[in-house]
Amino acid sequence: MRPAGRTTLIEPPSRGQTGCVLGETRKRRGDNRGAVLLMVGLVWIGTVVFLLTYAAASAGAYGPQTFSSGRAMVAGSVVTTDAGDVVGVRVQLQPLVSGPVLIVYTDSFGHFSFQDVPPGNYAIVISVPGYHMVNRQVEVGEGSAFGLEFMLTPLNSGKAFSNGSTTVSVRQMLIPGKARKEFNKAVSSQEHGKTDDAIEHWQKSIKIFPQYAESYMQLSKVYANRGDFARATEAAIRAIGIDGKSADPYEFLGYVYLKEKDFPKARDAFANAVKLSDSDWFSQFWLGQLLLDERDAQGAYPHLRLASQLNPQIPEIEIALYDDLLMLDRPKEALVEIDDFLARFPNSPLAAKARVQRNQLARSLDGKQH
């Protein structure tokens, strides 16, 4: 079983702006920005990826369910990236405010379920020796049934999937199992470089379930990577029509426009994504970067700063912040930013250029003081 959430987005083209001190660096880093974009779903984006499927919510997955008045079921499954054993995994449901901690164990398929759960905010905690711990917040609504999938990654893999809060929509709970299987086959095909097969499986999933926004989003990414921007845009817009209250389809649309080099439209798409969710570093970064390239340093700064806070592991964000602070005529803060960058990313491809610029800036500030 594979997750049906974000998958990796490759790097959109660089605009090659040269107005900032490190503008030349941005111009020539080109393909190096690939590290910036998610495994996204976009679905995508990235580096750290929130993977979410709804297999447990399919008809018959847990049998017919009845709830006490005002109560809900929280159900899902646990999978691993290394095909490890998922039998008997301990799953905790912890109220964020007050109340008892509920504990269940997965069955032979990795499935679990909590019955008669009062509405409220909870943390699902999964801890397995040898794997990164999962701690994800969920909002339980009255009468809701959740189909959540939690991906465990080995500690020695060097990468853990991020966790976020989510409320599963009625549309997502209605996704048939056959459609999800086609989606998962598409993800597997794409991971093995079989893009044509992936497209076919995503198209099949949509034929089974026409409201499968996640499949449209993935198709938009694949078409954009192939340069078929008309079909990519159409797929992203279809996803927005289905799930327009979510930030994800706007992120994918922004990605399509980046690949097409239609930067004003990309900026607008990421702005819409940020309006719907301010907790995604991917949209925050690209909105800030595009505004910076338009010389709107004041507008770019809060988005770049928030992107850095949301994901401090992306060196390109720190470089963009440095450029932005220089454009805002805040050189002392820029020096602090670039020193922090060099301390945390000494082996980055951007480090050599950054050291030169750092020394020039430091000398300039020393000259002003004397």
- Tell me the CATH number at 327: 1.25.40.10
Say if residue 107's pLDDT is above 70: yes
Task: Say which CATH number the domain at 117 has.
Answer: 2.60.40.10
Q: Rounded mean pLDDT of the chain?
A: 75
Q: What is the mean pLDDT of residues 39-59?
A: 26
In this predicted model, which residue has the larger pLDDT, 193 or 46? Answer: 193
- 213 and 147, same structural domain? no
- What are the tens digits of pLDDT across the range 336-363? 999 999 998 898 888 898 899 999 999 9
> pLDDT tens across 192-211, in order?
889 999 999 999 999 999 99
Q: 286 and 197, same structural domain?
A: yes
pLDDT per residue as tens digits for the range 176-194 = 888 888 888 887 888 788 9
198 domain residue, yes or no: yes
- Same domain flag for 148 and 213: no
Give the pLDDT confidence score for residue 183 in this predicted structure.
84
Across the range 254-269, mean pLDDT stands at 95
pTM: 0.60
For the chain, how many structural domains are there in total? 2
Residue 192, domain extent = 177-369
Per-residue pLDDT band at 113 (split at 50, 70, 90): confident
Helix (H) or strand (E) segment spanning residue 150: strand 145-152
- In a shared domain, residues 240 and 328: yes
- Which of 309-312's residues contact partners 24+ apart within 8 Å by CB, and which partners? 310/279, 310/280, 310/281, 310/284, 311/47, 311/48, 311/281, 311/285, 312/344
Q: Alpha helices of 115-262 — where are they, by DSSP H?
A: 170-173, 177-191, 195-208, 213-225, 229-242, 248-260
Task: Please provide the DSSP assignment of 257-275 as one string.
Answer: HHHHT-HHHHHHHHHHHHH
pLDDT of residue 288: 95
Asked, for residue 38, whether it belongs to a domain, the answer is: no
- Give 220's pLDDT tier (boundaries 50, 70, 90): very high
CA–CA separation, 7 vs 3, rounded Å?
A: 9
Considering only CA atoms, which of 196, 201, 277, 290 is closest in space to residue 244?
277
Same domain, 184 and 235: yes
Domain identity same for 226 and 164? no
Contact 224, 243 (CB under 8 A): no
Q: Which whole-number Å values give the CA distances from 241 to 51, 66, 130, 168, 249, in the listed order?
A: 22, 32, 42, 18, 9
Check whether 230 has a pLDDT greater than 80. Answer: yes
Among the three residues 173, 195, 214, which one is the final residue of a domain in this structure? 173
Asked if residue 95 lies in contact with residue 122, where contact means CB atoms within 8 angstroms, the answer is yes
pLDDT band at 150 (very low <50, low <70, confident <90, very high): confident
For 114, the 3-state DSSP assignment is strand
pLDDT of residue 34: 29
Claim to verify: residue 225 and residue 257 sit in the same structural domain: yes
